[in-house]
Structures are given as structure tokens and as C-alpha cells.
Chains A and B, each alone.
Chain A
Amino acid sequence: MILPWLLIIPLAGLLGVAVAHRSPIAQARLVTLMSLASLGAGGILVAGRPEVVTYAVGGWDAPLGIVLVADDLSRLMVLLTGCLFVLVTVPHGGPETPGSSPAGPAMTPLVYPLLLLALNGLFIAGDFFNFYVFFELVAVSSYLLVAMGRHWPLEAAWKYSAQSVLGSLFLLAGICLLYGRTGALTMSEVAMRLNEPAAWVAPCFLIAFLLKGAVFPFHFWQPDAHAAATTGGSVLLAGLLIKVGMYGLFRMWPLLMGDSHRWLFLWLGAASLLFGAIAAWRERDAKRLLGFSSISQLGFVLLGLGWGTVTALGAALFFMVSHSLAKALLFMATGCITDRAGTTRLARLEAAGKELPLVSAAYLIGVLSLIGLPPTGGFIGKLSLLHEGVRLGDGVLVAVVAGGSLMTLAYAIKAYQLLFWGTPCAPLPGRAAPTSMVAVAALALLVLGAGLLPGPLWGLCYAGAQQLQRPLAAVDR
């Protein structure tokens, strides 16, 4: 019975924020309260493991009505969403959000409940059309998130939305074709009625999710959007929104395609990995560098999807979650510096973070997790991925992974060195906001926790992967 609350809480938050538009402080408190409540609901959902929870909206059952379904993958994503929302909205949801947006300051806090509603709904959608509607809602609220940014926000929002609309067009086309063939929209029902891999809709889903996830040939919007958004916006973009594309692939590909055409992800993953790393190395902007790095890191996740065994899928999910946490941490730490310095160009940020030991340590932890070194979550994820690759005897790709990790080492350490070593040209103006320091410290602890105590997270990821491999049982009521 917890499932509908995942939608009711952000809806109530949306209403509250809209009503309280005269008082930015009340709005900020409401947004934080809503995020905490959603995290709590996510916690209750996870505590209800291991059964697959379903809820028929309005009492109408599956073939006619709409079902909400939460298996372990949904639980993982809902929990991650709650965590990141709390950590973002505590320091950034409130009136101290710097930079007035073109939509007016009263609009800005509305984005958070909208986005939370969309993400929660997407992760527990049990039928394709609902999935599409929530996917679209996620997209629109993330356009707003980018358009309210500060560094050429309109241009970045245009690039993002024009390309992303094309992606949702293809998703709708794919869902329609699927309905035309099977006559069902509930995911379990469609999977049951398909006798063979649905290769004829695969391109539609592939384009939609790769565009959303900003994987190599579809990545053009991503660095601009990351650089344009405010600190909180970048954290959500990198931590959750590009993962929505990955979630779609994890959810749909085993369901519709089974084991066929998995090699596609191996090529895409390897290309994305190498391209992102090279582009990040050449980048001269602190936030765009992190954006290109996301392109590269999602390549690892795609490799896991391409190998496709339960362990590989579980490792890919684990790596994806630890990448979310690490990238959120890096954006948050970078934001602590760039928001005060007023620029994101690395050349003008030389040693700017030298006087912030906590931020420096947190950035280093994030960098370690990106590279995949202990004691961070990235290490566990990458090690299990590599181990599975070696077990499957895929020598070339294991070499690519190792090379990609070395390149990550190069660009991440370069960024760290530029930001925190040497002699600062000028002291940072203003002073550190205590709330963002708390958020940075909490994220750093989460990244370390995923590496030091990986058991519970690994269990959740592995169970999620197992349910993906048996898609019928997973989404069946």
C-alpha cells in the first residue's frame, strides 16, 4: 500500500509549493519535507523486500486498469531518487538558490516536486503508456531545470529539449507498434504475448533511451545541459536524469528482446567509454568535464548490459548507482567552488578550492570512485564488471575497460590537481554555506559506504538483475 504514496507525496508537495508562492522560505521547507517523506516511503518500500509489490490504481485490475509495480530495480531507483533529492533540496531547493531564473523566482521550487513525481512514477510504472507519460513528464521538468540555469541556459535547454523530444517521439512510436502487435499495454502482458524477440521495435526504444542517457552517438545535448544548470540541477541531471535512459534499457531490453542483439551494447559501451574519456581530457570547463566523464562512465554500464549475465547486470546496476552518488558528489563539490568563484573555466579556477579541505577530500573520494579505486563504491562495481568480463573471456573489451579506467585516472586527477593544488590566484569571495557542506559530507559518506559495506546495495542490485532475467515473473502480479 506504499506505492501510491510515492505519487501522493510529491503531488501534495507540488500543491503546497504552488500555494506558498509568496514565501520562498516556506517553499524551501516544503520541498525538503517532501523529499524526506519520499525517501521514507522509498525506505518502507525497500523494507518490504523481496516480494514484487503491485497496486491497481482505482481498483481496476491489469488488463483494463493501470498497475503500479515495484520490483527490486524499482526499489533501487526510488531509494536513489529519494537520497539525491534530500541531499539536493536541503542546500539548493530554497530561496538561497543563486541566480534568478528567466521564469521568475517563484517558479523555481516547483520544478523539484514535479521532477520527483515524474521520477517516482516512472520507476513504478507497470504499463507502457504510463511509462511513456512519466518519461515525458521527467523530460519536461528536466528541460525546466536546465532552462533555469545560469550559463547560457536557453541555448542548452533548446539543444536538450529539441533532441529529447525526438527521443520521446520514437518511444511513443515503439509503444504504439508494440500495442498494435500484441494488443496489450501492461508490461507483463506484452512480454507474455510476444513469442519472439521484438526486434522490430528495438530501434525505437534504443534511440529514445540512448538519447536520454546521452550515450556516445546521442550525447550532444549533455555537456551543455550540465554546464548550464545550477549546482542542484547538475546533480539531479547527472545523478538521476541520465540514469533514466539506463533504467529504460534495463527494464525494456530483457523484457522485449531477451538475449538477442546484446552485442550492440558492447560496441556502444566501448565507443562511449573511449570517446567520453578523450573528450573529458581535452575539456577546459570544470562542469563540462564532469559531463563528458558521465558519457564515458555510462559506457561501463552498457558493457554490463551487453554481457547480460545476472552477475554482469547486477554489477552494472551497482556501478550505475555508485556513479550516480560519485557524480552527484563531484558536482556538489565543484558547485561549492564555482558558485562562489562565479566561473566554471578551469583556467580561472586554479587552486581555487585550496582553502576548503572538506570539499577537497570529498572531490578526491568522488574521483577515486570514478576511477574505480578502493575504498569506494566505484571499485566494487568496476571490479565485479571486470571479473565477469574475464570470466566470459571477452579479452578485447576487458582491455578497453582497463584503458578507459586509465584515461579516467588521467582526466580526473588532472581536474583535481587544477582545482585543489598550486597557489590560488585570488581568494574565493563569500563564504561556504554550511548546508552544502553537510550535503557534500553526507554524499562522500554514501560513496565510501557503498565501497566499505557493499553488502546491502549489492544484494538489492543482484536481486533486481535476477528479476530482470525472468521478466515475466518480475512484473507479473
Chain B
Amino acid sequence: MSILLAVAVGLLFAIGLYQLLGTDLLRIVFGLYLAFNALNLLIMAIGTVPGRAAPFAQLPGPHVDPLVQAMVLTAIVIGFGLATFLLLLAARLGHERQTLDAERMTRWRH
């Protein structure tokens, strides 16, 4: 389980960062968002121990770490908010320059 999660985190993070190398603004936003989600998965992976109960008081037995769940919720919200802001910025910029390609945007300015 943890190896699967580790591979998934690594793969998602690598794909996300690879997207940053392009010149398309939308690709960059989605790349960053993908990398953020890879991190959310990483936070989950830190607190997930197979065989333990969910952190509810009603459930018996050793529970998994509830702090991790709180952290991942916050991280999801922050990542989502940032992605929304970046998308909005990209949309405004694309509207201003009539393109979403960073290289053509630079030419527009000169």
C-alpha cells in the first residue's frame, strides 16, 4: 500500500512539474494543481496506517492520526484557492493579450 502511494505521489509530482516547462498558461496552472494534489496524497500517506480505524470516537481500537486529516483538508482548500486564483489571472491575461501562449504574449508587448 505505502509503495503504491509513494509511486503515485512521485509520478503525480513529476508530471505536474514537467507541465511547468511548457509555455501554455493553462498547462502551467494544471501542472501546479496536479503537484498540489500529489502533496495532498503525500500528507494522507503519512497518516495512513493499514488496519487502523478511522478517527471517530465511536469506533474501537487504535485510530489513525486525525491531525493529518485536518491538515489535508486545509491543504486541499488552499491548493484549490490558489489554482482558482491562477486560472483567473491566466484568463484575464489571455483576454488582454488574445493568447494563452507565454511566448506570443511577450511578442504582443513589444
Contacts and interface: CB of A to CB of B under 8 A. Distances in A.
Q: Do A and B associate with each other?
A: yes
Chain B CB count within 10 A is highest, among A102, A136, A155, for A155
Interface stretch (A158-166, A193-201, A326-334): A158-166
Interface string A146-172: 010000101101100110011011001
Contacts of B64: none
Interface in A98-157: 102, 129, 133, 136, 140, 143, 147, 152, 154-155, 157
B35 A154 contact: no
Interface string A172-212: 11001001100001000000000000000000000000000
B42 interface: yes
B104 interface: no
B14 to A, nearest CB: 13
B42 A166 contact: no
B39 A158 contact: no
Contacts of A176: 39, 42-43, 46, 71
Given A133-B78, A161-B86, A165-B86, A102 B32 contact: no
B93 A154 contact: yes
B46 to A, nearest CB: 4
B85 A158 contact: no
A185 B68 CA distance: 11
B92 interface: yes
B39 A172 contact: yes
B42 A158 contact: no
A140 B39 contact: no
B4 interface: no
A154 B92 contact: yes
Interface string B65-84: 00110010011001001100
Given A154-B93, A162-B32, A140 B46 contact: no
Interface residues of A, number: 24
Interface in B25-70: 25, 28-29, 32, 35-36, 39, 42-43, 46, 67-68
Contact of B93 (A133, A155, A166, A168): A155
B68 to A, nearest CB: 8
Contacts of A169: 32, 35-36, 39
Nearest to A128: B71
A161 B75 CA distance: 17
Nearest to A130: B74
Interface of B: 20, 25, 28-29, 32, 35-36, 39, 42-43, 46, 67-68, 71, 74-75, 78, 81-82, 85-86, 89-90, 92-93, 96, 105, 109
Interface of A: 102, 129, 133, 136, 140, 143, 147, 152, 154-155, 157-158, 161-162, 165-166, 168-169, 172-173, 176, 179-180, 185
- Lowest 5 A-B CB distances belong to which pairs? A180-B46, A154-B93, A176-B43, A158-B89, A136-B78
Given A154-B93, A162-B29, A162-B32, 16 more contacts: A129-B71, A136-B82, A140-B82, A147-B89, A155-B109, A158-B90, A162-B20, A165-B86, A166-B20, A169-B35, A172-B75, A176-B42, A176-B71, A179-B46, A179-B68, A180-B46
